[in-house]
Structure 1
Amino acid sequence: MGYSSNLDLRLIFHKNSESRKYTYKAKDWKLYYKIDCNSKKQGIAIENHIKRMKSKVYIENLLKYPEITIRLLKKYEESPGH
């Protein structure tokens, strides 16, 4: 099980899967921000985008500036037929 559209299952997977070495070892982490995506593909793309930023400030700015989330949703929106 990798990506899941069920947030609760995804959190359980990250907290308990030894294949996810960082999240498995870090037992004190919590959900900081959630973006409701239109598809699994869009969710994966946005998650990868945020991970590539490698910036705590960027993640904090997601909460401060809702327009960032809106831009991410538009940027990774699937075009009809895809």
Structure 2
Amino acid sequence: MEIYSVYILKCRDKTYYTGITSNLWDRIEQHKSGRYKNSYTYSRRPIELVYYCEFTEPDIAIEFEKKIKNWPQVKKEALISGKYQKLPNLAKKRFK
């Protein structure tokens, strides 16, 4: 059974990068070494792994990654620090 990891990296500029992979530790090493020069994290190194969770269903992992990518920074920080009870109240508000 393949495991899919959704992960969050904290970058040098204090921004967060969210990704998905089937080989977490190899992917982290790629980010750290700057293997992909056009990637978001390349110019923001060093990076730090601050959160990850594992899934056995790729569709669920992809859905969760997309959801996190749309979250504001404060909501990502609540997830990272394990303050799950705060997540519903930190939803991004959209006013017309």
- Give the TM-score of the pair, scaled to structure 1: 0.61
AA of the residue aligned to 1:35: C
Q: Which structure's residues are more often strand, by fraction?
A: 2
Higher relative contact order (CA 8 A, sep 6+): 2
Q: Residue 22 of structure 2: SS of its match in structure 1?
A: coil
Structure 2 distance, partners of 1:14, 1:40, is: 21
Instruction: In structure 2, list runs of 5 or more residues that go unmatched.
Output: 1-18, 88-96
1:2-81 to 2 correspondence within 5 Å? 3-15=20-32, 16=34, 17-20=36-39, 22-53=40-71, 55-62=72-79, 63-65=82-84
- In the TM superposition, structure 1's runs of 4+ consecutive aligned residues that sit over 6 Å from their partners are none
Instruction: In structure 1, list runs of 5 or more residues that go unmatched.
Output: 69-82
RMSD (Å) for aligned C-alpha atoms: 2.5
Distance 1:43 1:66, change over 3 A: farther
Q: Residue 32 of structure 1: SS of its match in structure 2?
A: strand
Cα offset for 1:3?
4.9
Structure 2 distance, partners of 1:41, 1:52, is: 17
Structure 1 distance, partners of 2:85, 2:29, is: 27
Structure 1 distance, partners of 2:25, 2:85, is: 23
Q: Which structure's residues are more often helix, by fraction?
A: 1
Cα offset for 1:9?
1.5
- Give the TM-score of the pair, scaled to structure 2: 0.54
Structure 2 distance, partners of 1:24, 1:44, is: 23
AA of the residue aligned to 1:7: L
Aligned pair count reads 65
Distance 1:40 1:11, change over 3 A: farther
